[in-house]
Amino acid sequence: MDKFEELEKKEIFKNEHIKVFSRKLKLPNNKIVDWTFTGKRDAVGVAAVFEDDTILLVKQYRPAVNMVTLEIPAGLLEKDECPMNAALRELEEETGYRANKIEKICEYFMSPGMSAGKFYLYYAEDLVKTQQNLDEDEFVVVEKESLKTISIDSLSDGKSIIAVEYAKKKRGIL
C-alpha cells in the first residue's frame, strides 16, 4: 500500500457522545485532501435469546433517521469499561433482563471510512427478569420476537441483522 502522510489533524466538534476531526492528508499521488471523521467511541450490542427461541428486541425512535427502529439492545461503552460488562449493563438497563451466560460473537469497525469506533457484538442466554433502568433520554419498548419468524427485512441496522442471523444459526433455525 502506498504511503499516506498526515499533514494536520484538528478537533472541530465535541460533545458527550461524539468528537469530529478534520485531517489534512497527502495522498500517494501527492494530492492534498481534507478528510472529516469521528473519533473512537466504541459500542456494544446483545442478541439475548430465551429457551423458546425468542429474542429480545427494542423499538425506539432514532433522530438521525427520523424513524422508530427495531434493534437488538445496544449502547455506548463508558470510559475504560470492558465491552462484555457494557453488554451486560446495556441489556439489563434497556430490557430489564440479566444474562447468566454471554459469549462474544465478533467485533468490527462500525464504519471505518468515517469512524475509528468499534462495535462489540454478544450472544446471551439464561436470561433472568430484573428491572428496566433507562437513561432519562431513552424511550424504548421491549419486544420478544420469534427467531423462527423474524425476517431481516423487519430489522433496521447491520448489528441487529448480524445478531439475529447468528442466533438463528446457533439455535439451529435456518
Catalytic member of 11, 136, 138, 143: 136
C-alpha distances (whole Å) from 21 to each of 5, 76, 101, 106 are 16, 19, 38, 27
Which grid cell sits at 31?
494530492
Query: Is residue 47 a contact partner of residue 122, using CB atoms and an 8 Å limit?
Result: yes
Which grid cell sits at 44?
456494544
75 alpha carbon, distance to own chain's centre: 6
136 is catalytic: yes
> What is the Cα gyration radius of the chain?
19
Helix (H, G, I), strand (E, B) or coil at 95: helix
Q: Report the C-alpha gap between 94 and 108 in whole angstroms.
A: 22
Alpha helices in the chain (DSSP H): 83-95, 158-170
| Active site residue ranges | 136
